Amino acid sequence: MYVKQIYTGCLSEAAYFIESDGEAAVIDPLRDIDSYIELAKERKATIKYIFETHFHADFVSGHLDLKKQTNAPIVYGPGTETNFPVYVAKDHESFKVGKHTIEVLHTPGHTLESTCYLLKDEQGIPTCIFTGDTLFVGDVGRPDLSSGGLTSEELASIMYDTLENKILTLPDNVIVYPAHGPGSSCGKNLGPETQSTIGEEKKTNYALQPQSREEFIKAVTSGLLAAPLYFPINARINKEGYSSLSEIKTKGLTPIAIEEFKNKINEDYIILDTRKASDFTQGFIPGSIFIGLEGRIAEWAGSLLSFNQPILLVTDPGMEEETIIRLARVGFDKVAGYLDVGFKGWKNAGEEIDMIIDIEADEMAMDILHDPNSVVLDVRREPEFADGHVVNAVNLPLSEMTDIAQIANFEDNQNLYVHCAGGYRSVIATSLLKRQGIHNLRNVLGGWEKIKDEPSIEIIKDASVLN
């Protein structure tokens, strides 16, 4: 038996390729399916099944495109309803892949259709389980994404029974292969590893400790940050279907000359610049939104951009297709093309550009000491802010900067010093502020990692100081 975890770090997502005796199965494929097709060729195998653990909310699955390529059936767990043909498996139903067996374990709680897949060897002994968003390393799937009109408490109660009856009864040596790793918003406490064992999770996972139903519900529903805004959009796409990735790439890979590009800007297109943050601040097309390929571009695009507006790309040369793929992974299918000469060509043609001033933490320290109109704008998440921040700083998490009223809630005479943890999110934030006509701002290089070590800046080290 061959099992390969195909991990995509920028989404914290794990898909799986399973092969035995020339037959293969893919679990939770991403929208770009080439890696699974290539693996099948390498292994001289035929993809027999496409298993989905649930309707993913944080990415668009590749199930439809993979089915078109392979003619393999798409398998979901009990209770699943879709707008396209799938095989809805029964609880404990088995599927043969070569000499091995995959058993369906219906595990509702994260969503009602959530299902795990238990892989058994030739003797029928369980070897590993593909848990989707039911069980992570150190955590379980969040129960607040609304499924079937149930409350998060009701779903958490269902999850309690799932874990007690389907997960905790498995042998300790069974390997746990989850759908996500650290950084995912599908849980609140994911550990640093991308696989574990049932025994290890019994020892270390807070959700698997002996506790009453009421204690469990409180534990898994408390401390959850708001889910990214694009989650329900992606879940709907996965349920209803989508255009093929090849169609999206064909449209998006249209080179656009400067004059046409300028005309489209006036037609309310989004200009998305995916170059490095350090390049963007040195010069960009006015009105551009920065979300660089160097970071979690798909998640931030899904959280901040409209799915209804067409997008024009400004990228580093040769990175157009990569950008389109990573946007498509979270459901963006309206990329209309890219600037054919790139930003360098735009600048060399004498077209208008804008810039963002970068400053070091020690420069910010001097400025805020002498400028009564200075405002430190911290765009980190609330828990990060609570762990330590500059005295009198304003916390406006980047994820909330879709609210124009909040962005505009600054005085004309205020000088903004924008920072995040390391410098990526702050450049996204400054591009959004610039787009709303706020220009008296600075981007603090190195973010909180540099600020907290600057002795002349007064900081609050933890939330308890606020009480």
Domains in the chain, number: 3
Q: Are 427 and 356 in contact (CB under 8 A)?
A: yes
pLDDT in tens, the chain (467 residues): 999 999 999 899 999 999 999 999 999 999 999 999 999 999 999 999 999 999 999 999 999 999 999 999 999 999 999 999 999 999 999 999 999 999 999 999 999 999 999 999 999 999 999 999 999 999 999 999 867 789 999 999 999 999 999 999 999 999 999 999 999 999 988 999 999 999 999 999 999 999 999 999 999 999 998 889 999 999 999 999 999 999 999 999 999 999 999 999 888 899 999 999 999 999 999 999 999 999 999 999 999 999 999 999 999 999 999 999 999 999 999 999 999 999 999 999 999 999 999 999 999 999 999 999 999 999 999 999 999 999 999 999 999 998 776 776 788 899 999 999 999 999 999 999 999 999 999 999 999 999 999 998 999 887 544 43
Mark whether 210 and 273 lie in a shared domain: no
Residue 171 within a domain: yes
Residue 238 within a domain: no
Mark whether 141 and 252 lie in a shared domain: no
Residue 286 within a domain: yes
Residue 125 within a domain: yes
User: Within 10 Å of residue 300's Cβ, how many Cβ atoms?
Assistant: 22
Q: Which of 326, 348, 370 is the last residue of a domain?
A: 348
Residue 237 within a domain: no
Mark whether 150 and 50 lie in a shared domain: yes
Amino acid at 163: L
Mark whether 32 and 160 lie in a shared domain: yes
Mark whether 341 and 396 lie in a shared domain: no
Structure tokens, 306: 């409209």
C-alpha 290/C-alpha 301 separation (Å) is 10
pTM of the model: 0.93
Mark whether 325 and 364 lie in a shared domain: no
Mark whether 444 and 309 lie in a shared domain: no
Domain at 401, CATH number: 3.40.250.10
The vertex-295 CA angle with 404 and 447, nearest 5°, equals 70
Domain at 115, CATH number: 3.60.15.10
Residue with tokens 């993979």: 66
The predicted structure's pLDDT at residue 466 = 41
The predicted structure's pLDDT at residue 467 = 36
Residues 139-189 pLDDT 10s: 999 999 867 789 999 999 999 999 999 999 999 999 999 999 999 999 988
Mark whether 297 and 396 lie in a shared domain: no
Structure tokens, 153: 């408490």
Mark whether 158 and 274 lie in a shared domain: no
**Strand ranges (DSSP E) for 315-458?**
335-339, 357-359, 374-378, 389-390, 394-395, 415-419, 441-444
C-alpha 205/C-alpha 184 separation (Å) is 16
Q: Which of 281, 316, 348 is the last residue of a domain?
A: 348
Mark whether 293 and 212 lie in a shared domain: no
Structure tokens, 61: 């699955």
Nearest to 76 by CA among 35, 30, 28, 109: 28
C-alpha 356/C-alpha 105 separation (Å) is 53
Mark whether 96 and 213 lie in a shared domain: yes
Instruction: Look up the domain containing 397 and give its range.
Output: 357-466
Residue 26 within a domain: yes
Residue 75 within a domain: yes
Q: Which of 232, 254, 276 is the last residue of a domain?
A: 232
Mark whether 113 and 225 lie in a shared domain: yes
